[in-house]
Amino acid sequence: MTDRELHTPEAKLFVGLFDAIPFGIYVVDIETLDLIYTNGLLKENLPSHSSKKCYEAIYNLSSPCSHCNIKKLKQKKTESPQYIDVYQHFNECNDRWYQMQDKSLTWPDGREAKYSIAVDITDMKEVQNRLAEAHAELAINNRKLAEAAITDMLTQLNNRLKLEIEFEREMERCERYNISMSIILIDLDNFKAVNDNFGHPVGDVVLIESAKRFKKSIRGNDILGRWGGEEFMVICPETNLEAGLLVAEKLRSTLADSDFPVVGPVTGSFGLAHFQKGDTIKELISRSDQALYTAKSDGRNCVRKL
């Protein structure tokens, strides 16, 4: 469009409106893709665009943009004359993000055109990305905290809190569905002597290595954790006393057949109890504790049931 044409009353109206908007604006001939007009703000950021197509001047491309929406705007105009296409676009020409608002209109010289308002949102995008990263990091840390709350830090097994949660859940299942459950309470034999004779760091190694051996020996649905000190517990869902005895014996032999660094062989005493209708958690644990005491009294390195 010539300078004379831009100074017609109709064109002045468009130019005045577009120049008053504090964002880059350009107008394109829908049929030829010629760049008809750019407002002052956009013109400051563009090289000379004489006789250039819009894709050359705005995006420094040699062919129409892949995201060109002129066909869409022409179709939408017949359905809704006031339709505005709003989207975000990254301009590789200047490495900036823009919120685009495109609309078709009739230019004062009668040509069908598209005007585009380009709002630079690069800084906002950067803030959004940092915020998203912060949320992701927070979510990761929250998961870590939640995991830490139910994990024994030394052995990386379930801690007592987690065992109690699982215990209560399995007890409810037993009552509701009339299924069995066994628990195995394990106490490492003569563990105080290990700490006294070799020191607590060696004792910690014994606990860690015992946990690894127990973990390899339990079944897929068994729940293993550190009950406290040198005591471990295994919750065996849907397991009667006989099946629980097999699990306990496997754990006992796995432990007894292993040599530990510095201290050599380590054994454990195992107390087994199974759920009985009407049991409370306290009663079931008490029976397994009594069975464990019996195992200790019977010479250790054995399994006793109650």
Question: Could you give the 3-state DSSP secondary structure of residue 6?
Answer: helix
Cβ burial of 76 (10 Å; 0-12, 13-18, 19+) is middle
Are residues 268 and 252 in contact, defined by beta-carbon separation less than 8 angstroms?
yes
Sorted by sequence, the CB contacts under 8 Å of residue 163 that are 6+ apart come out as: 223, 225, 227, 233, 235
Two structure tokens written together for 96: 């900036």
Q: Please report the DSSP string for 289-300 in residue order.
A: HHHHHHHHHTTS
Burial 191-224 (b: 16+ CB within 10 A, else e): beebeeeeeeeebebbbebbbebbeebbeeebbb
Sorted by sequence, the CB contacts under 8 Å of residue 54 that are 6+ apart come out as: 26, 28, 33, 34, 35
For 268, the enclosing helix (H) or strand (E) is strand 268-274
Sorted by sequence, the CB contacts under 8 Å of residue 246 that are 6+ apart come out as: none
Two structure tokens written together for 252: 């006992």
Annotation marks residue 238 as catalytic: no
Two structure tokens written together for 119: 């709002």
Query: Which residue is catalytic, options 170, 209, 230, 231?
Result: 230
Show which residues are catalytic.
230
